[in-house]
Amino acid sequence: MENPDSYQAMLDAVQAFHDKHDFKNTGGEELTYRIALMAEELGEISSCVTKGKSGDQLSEEVADLFILLIGTAIAADFDLRGAFWKKMERLMKRDSKMVNGRIRVSEFRDMS
């Protein structure tokens, strides 16, 4: 049995969800629609944080966003796992600064 915590198991589960509802042929994989769904989920995450909702509610909304992200990789046909590791390698090389009392990690382009 495949490890249920593996990325492949998660990818397979989201693919099965897409197949069950025929997202490919019914507009569920259209990218601008998916962006709107992700924005909606970010709003729900924000609501959980700003209204002090339980950790269970927050984790459910974050899981919704994660499922949408995996589904977007399916819809746009890219390797999210590969993109993740490529980006992490770049992020680990970046510097950090305190900006308005909070840590910020960026490329910090010189604006002078």
Distance CA 24, CA 37 (A): 16
| Tokens, residue 104 | 């910020």
95 CB burial (10 A radius; 0-12, 13-18, 19+)? exposed
Domain 7-80 part of CATH 1.10.287: yes
Global pTM reads: 0.87
pLDDT for 7 equals 94
Angle (deg, nearest 10), helices 7-20 and 80-92 = 140
The CA-atom distances, in angstroms, between 99 and each of 27, 102, 106, 108 are 41, 5, 11, 11
pLDDT for 112 equals 55
Enumerate the β-bridge partners of residue 103: 98
Task: Tell me the domain boundaries of the chain.
Answer: 7-80
* 32-88 pLDDT tens trace: 999 999 999 999 999 999 999 889 999 999 999 999 999 999 999 999 999 999 999
Residue 53 · residue 47 · CB < 8 Å: yes
pLDDT for 4 equals 84
